Amino acid sequence: MSDISLQIDGKEVIAPEGVTILRAAERVGISIPTLCHHQKLEPYGGCRVCSVEVDSRGRTSVVAACLFPVEQDLVVRTRTKKLERIRKSLLEMMLAHAPDSEQLQALAVEYGADKDRFEKEASFCIHCGLCVRYCAEVKKKNALGFIDRGARKEICFIPEIASKECWECKECFPLCPTSALQAAFVLIKALSFPPEST
Ligand code: SF4
Ligand code: FES
């Protein structure tokens, strides 16, 4: 893979062709916020908190840094008024679902997001998919999945798999930016684990 050069926040950056903007920025110490990204997992592009502005082939657009591959002479801005507005709105929507999330609260402070802007719908899950994808891609167990769609979408442990695999594992727990995963696990534990394991 050959190296290419691009510009991120005014800094000249050399990066291997094909890596994401997020990875290229990390290499030079430029931090871009993320919520659904994990280095062991395939790029997902779910939360859009990593949105950045790019100038490419005469056009300016907003793209997800965790998905968009670098290209020669790409110009990237990670902090603009427009991006701050996007991140603020996204965080406000997520905080309506998970107002107690410490990770969201920290980002809310950074981007001036008002956790009370939207009416609370405490589903707790922000649909980042980290738990589902980690279990599928890293553990190869598929003990978790999403059920329903849209606003009703929520994660669910598959009882037949979870009762065999999850008790000794729980590696997905620290990945969850909210308390949704732990809450779902408490529920499935009560429903499907034998009393001596609880
Ligand atoms: S339960 Fe947590 S880790 Fe899983 S999708 Fe929801 S917010 Fe993400
Ligand atoms: S971290 Fe890029 S979309 Fe979530």
At residue 186, the pLDDT reads 77
What are the residue ranges spanned by the domains of the chain?
3-41+48-77, 80-122, 130-197
Under a CB-based contact definition with an 8 Å cutoff, are residues 168 and 75 in contact? no
Domain formed by 130-197, architecture? 2-Layer Sandwich (3.30)
At residue 193, the pLDDT reads 60
pLDDT tens profile 57-105: 889 999 999 999 999 999 999 999 999 999 999 999 999 999 989 999 9
Select 3-41+48-77's CATH number: 3.40.190.10, 3.40.1440.60, 3.10.20.740, 3.20.20.450. 3.10.20.740
Ligand nearest to the CA of 176: 1
**Fold agreement (3-41+48-77, 130-197):** no
Inter-CA distances, 8 with 29, 53, 69, Å: 11, 10, 13
At residue 180, the pLDDT reads 78
Is the minimum distance from the CB of 129 to ligand 1 under 6 angstroms? yes
What is the spatial distance between Cα 5 and Cα 56, in angstroms, rounded to a whole number? 13
Count of C-beta atoms within a 10 Å radius of residue 109: 10
* Whole-structure pTM value: 0.90
Q: How far is the CA of 129 from the centre of ligand 2 (A)?
A: 11
Pairing of strands 3-8, 75-77: parallel
- For the chain, the maximum distance between any two Cα atoms, rounded to a whole number of angstroms, is 64
Which segments of the chain have a pLDDT < 50? 197-198
At residue 7, the pLDDT reads 97
